[in-house]
Chain A
Amino acid sequence: MKAIIIFLFSLLFMYLDFLFAEFSPVTISGLEVYFVSRLLLMFVLLISIYVSPSMSAFIGIVFGLMLDVYIGSVYGIHSFGMVAFVAFMHTAFRVFYKDFVAMAFVILLLTFLYETYIYFIYRLLDLVYMPIFDYLALRAAPSLLLNALLFFFVFVTALKTSKVRNNLQSKY
């Protein structure tokens, strides 16, 4: 039951990420500012804490592949990235003190690093030409801000999802 709920919410967050892409970039003072939401990634990272890292890695591979094949020019970026970032999350959480603020900090930091990882891969493959400072100012910072605003919404969803199985067990 929990696996199905997690899968459905992952689908929903993936679709919401697509939806945010419709409204971006926003032109501010003649500059194109990109707001890239990472709802699916944040959900997958939260699942690694509240459910299990293996479930999170599985969801990461499945949805990473779906993203790569459905809407990607370069295969492997999302499927590898999601699993690697779940591993980083698992490792980082052993180091940080486990409270809400630390968790929010680590997850937002990882969304920023994920965006940067994709930027570097595309730069390496000569697919994008954006200078690093433009990337930081017009893309990374606004995206971080958007994801910080959306984090609470994803956090509540992940928390509720993690309790699905317990509720069912208490009934029977």
Chain B
Amino acid sequence: MNKLFNRNKMLMILFGIIVLILLIGFSMGDRDSTTKAEQFTADATAGTQTVIGAPLNFVSSIFSTISKSFGAIEENEKLKAKLDMLPQMEADIERLEAENEELREALDVSSKREYDTTAARVISRSPDQWLNSFTIDKGEKDGLTEGMAVMTTEGLIGTVRRANGGSSYIEMLTTSVSQNNLSVEIMHDDTPVYGNVSRYDNERNLLVVENIKNRSGLEKGDEVFTSGLVGDFPEGLIIGTVVEVENDEYGLSQNAYVQLKSNVDDIDTVFVLKRSPESTED
């Protein structure tokens, strides 16, 4: 053993293990801010990646444009047809928004559903491919902070774990780290039933919601939304659909297995939601 690992090398490895344990403790701790050192390192890496990736992205965009151009005429026709309906839809939305506002004022309540969105592009995914986490090209200077909800066009996908200057690190709902305190409401016959996300079942690729009251009558196909009760998540963000309901091991409450609306393996553009300050006052 002495020949293979001399004393200095052994000491260095032992020291490294201690540093590793300290770093794991630091990174796994419940923090609500990102240090300047982390922001600088992450932004520097994102910057160099953008420079190195520029030529490759340019080449891939050429191929992508060529392949998309084949179906462009047909797609254009479909979009034109949809566009004809747009003025009517806009008018309807304006009318409903005004009506909603009037009714809310009459009831004297604020909405937990109000939020601003920031569109962002995924610039890299973890090469480990263990936690499905990714980095986006918007950060603190765009108004992003830790804990904000992240969505795709299909539904909720994760949360902002670290907001750097010009980039942010997003953790998916599929990782146990990001599920803490995520309260959800399951709509069954227009009645909300509340529960908490406990974990992600990797074998079945389903989200597990626990602490649902017994005899709630939940059924397959019921839709799951954020409740807006805990954290910075606005109310009413769609998460997924119930595929199975079962009693918990003590029979005191129920668990629901939820299929996520978003495809976790194919994410290109996301929306970061900033809950409006008025909606958090309740």
Contact = CB atoms under 8 A, between A and B. Distances in A.
A118 to B, nearest CB: 6
B157 to A, nearest CB: 15
Interface centre among B16, B134, B135 (most CB of A within 10 A): B16
Nearest to B202: A129
Nearest to A131: B203
Given A69-B42, A91-B4, A15 B131 contact: no
Contact of B53 (A15, A75, A83): A15
Contacts of B4: 91, 94-95
B175 interface: yes
Nearest to A134: B203
Nearest to B23: A76
Contacts of A14: 49, 127
B13 A73 contact: no
A73 to B, nearest CB: 5
Contacts of A128: 130-131, 202
Contacts of A121: 24
A19 B177 contact: no
A150 to B, nearest CB: 13
B76 interface: no
B64 interface: no
Interface residues of A, number: 46
A59 to B, nearest CB: 14
Contacts of B28: 74, 125
Contacts of B252: none
B41 A76 contact: no
A14 to B, nearest CB: 8
A164 to B, nearest CB: 19
B162 to A, nearest CB: 8
A24 B129 contact: yes
Contact of A130 (B23, B135, B161, B202): B202
Given A15-B52, A19-B56, A73-B131, A127 B27 contact: no
Interface centre among B21, B23, B26, B38 (most CB of A within 10 A): B23
B45 interface: yes
Contacts of B38: 69
B171 interface: yes
B41 A71 contact: no
B236 to A, nearest CB: 28
A95 B17 CA distance: 24
B131 A34 contact: no
Contacts of A34: 129
A71 B169 contact: yes
B42 A70 contact: yes
A70 B135 contact: yes
Nearest to B3: A94
Interface string A60-74: 000001111111111
A118 B130 contact: yes
A68 B12 CA distance: 20
Contacts of A125: 24, 28
Contacts of A20: 127
A31 B118 CA distance: 35
A82 to B, nearest CB: 10
Give the top 8 A-B pairs by smallest Cβ distance, nearest first: A76-B23, A75-B27, A75-B23, A17-B127, A70-B45, A80-B20, A69-B41, A76-B20
Interface of A: 11-12, 14-15, 17-22, 24-25, 34, 36-37, 65-77, 79-80, 83-84, 87, 91, 94-95, 118-119, 121-122, 125-130
